[in-house]
Amino acid sequence: MGLCSMDAGTPLTVGTWVAARAGADCALSAAAAVAAGERAAFALTRPPGHHAGADFFGGYCFLNNAALAAQQLRDQGFERVAVLDLDYHHGNGTQAIFYERTEVFFLPAFMATRLLNTRFTWAMPMSRVKMPGWVLIATCPWRGSDFALWRAALTTALQGIQSYGAQALVVSLGLDTFEGDPIAGFKLQSADYLQVGQDLAAAGLPTVLVFEGGYAVAEVGINAVNLLQGFMEMT
């Protein structure tokens, strides 16, 4: 197991492949809808995907839903696709998949590298990063940041996407930045996700939003709906 799993907390069980494949199919269907002309689509998938690489799994992830959606958009004619990972945790699997490719621009804008265990490839040393899509967000917010600082980083990330010339956007939608989340320690409130959705929509790109997760179970649905509502208000 150690040859293909980056951690010891992602077990393979009888129903694992069925669930992972269903989640991947959901993301592919969302991307297909956007490629066919929909302004946006939301893939509400479980299990999540952004920690899964081409040859490894972990972090509760088995197949990388966001990466599959990005490749689907590429296959359907979008020459440049951006993947914006809003999760507190680094989307190391997505980074690994697009490590040396220029047609997919990956931004792990809110990665708190200093707080993660790099022994299990959560982050690659900056000296080794070859991927042209990698950018280090100067305003990257750290643990305890409020929404103003967090949103400033989002603005910087979206500016980077525009500069890249992306024709479509995939969002790894992690909601563990919520103030009530037991892990991340950020200070975003439920109402703030309305603004996040508006900011994402203002980018003006065909968008696939792929659900990654969040650990404040009682509020994660509220926060997801608020973000989608904010997005739709701008479309």
- 182 assigned to some structural domain: yes
- 121 assigned to some structural domain: yes
Place of tokens 């990654």: 212
- 153 assigned to some structural domain: yes
Residue 36's contacts (CB-CB under 8 Å, 6 or more residues apart) are none
- 3 assigned to some structural domain: no
Q: What is the pLDDT of residue 119?
A: 36
- Exposure string over 78-114, b if 16+ CB within 10 A, otherwise e: bebbbbbbbbbbbbbbbbbbbbeeeebbbbbbbbbbe
Residue 47's contacts (CB-CB under 8 Å, 6 or more residues apart) are 19, 20, 23, 60, 61, 62
- 207 assigned to some structural domain: yes
Q: Spell out where the chain has E strands.
A: 40-43, 81-85, 104-107, 168-174, 207-213
Q: What is the pLDDT of residue 193?
A: 98
Q: What is the pLDDT of residue 153?
A: 84
Domain that holds residue 49: 16-233
- 4 assigned to some structural domain: no
Q: What is the pLDDT of residue 89?
A: 86
- 5 assigned to some structural domain: no
Active site residues: 51
Residue 171's CATH number: 3.40.800.20
Q: What is the pLDDT of residue 137?
A: 41
Q: What is the pLDDT of residue 172?
A: 97
Closest CA to 71 of 121, 106, 46, 42: 106
| Residue 111, both tokens | 């990665």
- 8 assigned to some structural domain: no
Amino acid at 83: V
- The total domain count for the chain is 1
Q: What is the pLDDT of residue 111?
A: 52
For the chain, 235 residues long, give each residue's pLDDT as a single digit of tens: 778 998 888 999 999 999 999 999 999 999 999 999 999 999 999 999 999 999 999 999 999 999 999 999 999 999 999 999 999 888 889 988 998 888 998 887 665 444 333 333 334 433 334 444 444 443 455 667 889 988 988 888 898 899 889 999 999 999 999 999 998 888 999 999 999 999 999 999 999 999 999 999 999 999 999 999 999 999 8
Please say whether the beta carbons of 66 and 211 come within 8 A: no
